[in-house]
Amino acid sequence: MNCHRKLRVADFQSRAAYAPETVFHHLSGGWSYIPVHHFADETDSAVSCVDCWCLLGADAALMECSITDESSRQPGLYAFLDARGPYWPKLHAILPAPLTRAAVEKVMQMFVDLGFPDPLVARLRPGGPIVRLSS
């Protein structure tokens, strides 16, 4: 799995190098991330989801945050691995609105506190079911 991790990190770094002005840094953790959508505190439009490519420690992941009103899942944190290489970790958070930058950064910290990348990724199987990590 280490070769896949290197590919994920290289992919994130390539995205960051292509558009460095889109890279944000977690306020307290310093982790780099690239938001795919605007945060609720950066737009006048309603925001029901915020996705970010994240480099959290030694691995990269796609983190998807959705508001509780737009999800069929219960509030909480979830994760799974893609079925195909490089087996991207997909981190999901279902939380109350609004999806501000501070709220999304808090979720990043929660995933790190739960053990991302290790041992959290070790609990997941490529192509396996989504795992609920917390409520």
Q: Where are the domains of the chain?
A: 2-134
Mean pLDDT of each 10-residue bin along the chain, 135 residues long: 89 96 95 96 93 96 96 95 95 96 97 94 93 89
Residues 6+ positions from 65 with CB-CB distance below 8 Å: 49, 50, 51, 52, 92, 93, 94, 95, 99, 103, 104, 107
| Residue-level pLDDT at 2 | 77
| Residue-level pLDDT at 1 | 59
For residues 97 and 68, give the distance between their C-alpha atoms in angstroms, rounded to a whole number.
Answer: 7
| Residue-level pLDDT at 69 | 92
| Residue-level pLDDT at 131 | 96
CB 24 within 8 A of CB 32: yes
CB 127 within 8 A of CB 15: no
| Residue-level pLDDT at 51 | 97
| Residue-level pLDDT at 135 | 72
Write down the pTM of the prediction: 0.94
